[in-house]
Amino acid sequence: MTTIGIIGSGNIGSQLARAFTRIGHDVVVANSRGPETLGDLVAEVTEQARAAGGAGTATAGTVAQAAQAGDLVVVTIPLKAVTSIPAHLLEGRIVIDTNNYYPQRDGQIAELDEARTTTSELVAHHFAGARVVKAFNHIPAGEISEHAQAPGTEGRRALAVYGDDLAAVERVSDLIDATGFDVVHGGGLAESWRIERDTPGYIPHFTAEQLRQKLAEATRQPAA
């Protein structure tokens, strides 16, 4: 298996660490407070992976170490903090962007308020040397583990992915499938507004067919 960097140890980051180690990947987890604050989390994640029969391990690292641990890196921190990560650290990497825009947390961002861009396009603009794929932003963190099912299971939950690099989208799609979910390809990053906060496909459990319908139903209105 491979090593996956995870920048952000909050709800989504910690659940993805559990999911990835359970299927045999090693993860390097980082946060803004430093590796010394992550000892309990990485021990718990590794122990849970072993209990589930997985061979993956979790280790704590700095942001730079997580960014360069492998060619696949999850960025799961508040949108306002994305630019605090030096862009050069993710040159050449596939970046999984889990972000959503919350003005009360992130401050008002005119380009998003006026529907002139998407959250993932902002992330991709900062990490210009990386291949950004939007994923895991529209599922409650706990359900990453709770709703995971084997391929072919009737009613299996689907997750949407968006990206401009087809090879990167396929790589992330394979990871999502292995994690326990069907995949719906939504298009390029410019279309990823269809699965942003408050759209029909955001949050509820949908099968692939249902999610495609919800993405098609989405309408885009400026927030300001």
The amino acid at residue 191 is E
Q: Residue 90 and residue 95: Cα distance in Å, rounded?
A: 8
The β-bridge partners of 134 are 97, 162
- In eight-state DSSP terms, residue 168 is H
Indicate the pLDDT class of residue 224, thresholds 50, 70 and 90.
Answer: low
Given a cut of 90, whether residue 110 has pLDDT beyond it is yes
Question: Strands 94-97 and 131-134, how do they pair?
Answer: parallel
Helix axes 11-22, 166-179, angle to 10 degrees: 80
DSSP of 112-163, one letter per residue?
Answer: HHTTSS-HHHHHHHHTTTSEEEE-SSSS-TTHHHHT---TT-TT--EEEEEE
Q: Which residue has the tokens 């994923």?
A: 135
Given a cut of 90, whether residue 92 has pLDDT beyond it is yes
Indicate the pLDDT class of residue 222, thresholds 50, 70 and 90.
Answer: confident
Per-residue pLDDT, 184: 98
Q: Both tokens of residue 103?
A: 């003005």
Per-residue pLDDT, 9: 97
Question: Strands 131-134 and 158-163, how do they pair?
Answer: antiparallel
Q: Both tokens of residue 87?
A: 């862009």
Q: What is the pTM of this model?
A: 0.96
- In eight-state DSSP terms, residue 62 is -
Count CA atoms within 13 Å of residue 132 on its CB side.
24
Indicate the pLDDT class of residue 53, thresholds 50, 70 and 90.
Answer: confident
Share of the chain above pLDDT 70, in %: 99
